[in-house]
Amino acid sequence: MNKAGPISRQRMVLLHIIGWALLFSLPFLLKPDFSQFKTQLIEQYRTELTISNIIIRILWVGLFYLNTLVLIPRYIYTRSYTRYIFLLLVCIIGVGLVDFSLFYFMMPLLEYIPKNFIFFNFFPLMMMLVASTAYRLLIDRMEAKQKEQDIRNENLQTELSLLRSQVSPHFMFNVLNNMVALARKKSDKLEGSLIQLSQLLRYMLYETAQKVSLKQEVEYLHSYIELQQQRFGNLVQIDTRFSIQQDSLGIEPMLLIPFVENAFKHGTGLIENPSIHIEVINEDHRLILLVENQFEPNSREVKDATSGIGLENVKRRLALLYPGQYQLEIEAKDHLFRVRLTLHLA
């Protein structure tokens, strides 16, 4: 077993060593009452008694692992209860016979059998079997939980990969529309826009496989906003404010862009004197994104097939990646669409 739930393999081995060390030390901590024996006989067989105790406890250890690793999986899990009970009885009788033989053949002068012979043999065997069964059930439960967690994590990773794959096509769809608009105008800004686009593509292709720094994400926003400024020129008033104090903090890539992208998509066009306000503030491991844009609630604008992917996508990603660590407020009131995201970054 490579994993045993939240307990590492090294810790599990250490726990086993400590447990068996305690078991083997019991003969020295709890000695049976030999007061009725002659002192010289006890001294004579002291070594034999120690060896006998060690051999018996080695058999207990063997019975523990035999029950845990072989008997329970092979017979209990296959519902072969009769065979399981029969083999257990054979093991118990076998250990008892070994103990009995050691007592009489190694120490023949000890003619008296202590009254607590059964207590020191039968009951410890029963306790060992109960402990091994409980241990097996505990390990199975921990492995089942670990497997469920692994499956859950794999499903989350698959879903996140799918969500990330949706971000790039949707974003590229809008950016290419910007390029087409500049090409139709035969604008001399097209070359600069292509350079900006290449920088965005480099970020999307090479920097988004894992978390990025807040500085990289903010630079990505800058490049996107500059592309939009080149497209709209003076037709749209764009007001930005960036105040970043801890730009080395890690953040999920392309997490902020859908809100900004949505503002440009729905805050321009048929709106008179459109304006967009964007703020990104960072302080004390907290990131605040504020995006405001005008919108026309009575507009009959026909939405494209990808409309709405961005916001729904980022909502799901926030729920998966930052559970309990973010607050998202979306408000549409008095021709003003307002988004405020507060994100707690580790």
Task: Name residue 277's beta-bridge partners.
Answer: 239, 292
Whole-angstrom Cα distance, residue 75 to residue 56? 25
* Number of domains the chain is built from: 2
Identify whether residues 81 and 172 lie together within a single domain.
no
Whole-angstrom CA distances from 318 to 26, 96, 174, 315, 344 are 56, 63, 22, 5, 11
Identify whether residues 225 and 333 lie together within a single domain.
yes
**pLDDT computed for residue 3 by the predictor:** 42
**pLDDT computed for residue 96 by the predictor:** 76
Last residue of a domain, one of 119, 149, 179: 149
The answer to whether residue 1 is domain-embedded is no
Q: Tell me the pLDDT tens digit for each residue of 198-250.
A: 877 777 666 666 788 899 889 888 888 887 887 777 888 999 999 998 888 99
**pLDDT computed for residue 171 by the predictor:** 59
Identify whether residues 167 and 307 lie together within a single domain.
yes
**pLDDT computed for residue 107 by the predictor:** 61
Identify whether residues 224 and 316 lie together within a single domain.
yes
Contact 107, 48 (CB under 8 A): yes
φ and ψ of 118, to 5 deg = -65, -40
**pLDDT computed for residue 40 by the predictor:** 55
**pLDDT computed for residue 325 by the predictor:** 92
The radius of gyration of the chain from alpha carbons, rounded to an integer in Å, stands at 37
- Please identify every stretch of the chain with a pLDDT value under 50, giving residue numbers as ranges: 1-6, 34, 36-38, 112, 114-116, 302-308
**pLDDT computed for residue 118 by the predictor:** 56
Domain that holds residue 36: 9-149
Contact 231, 280 (CB under 8 A): no
**pLDDT computed for residue 305 by the predictor:** 44
**pLDDT computed for residue 270 by the predictor:** 76
**pLDDT computed for residue 328 by the predictor:** 94
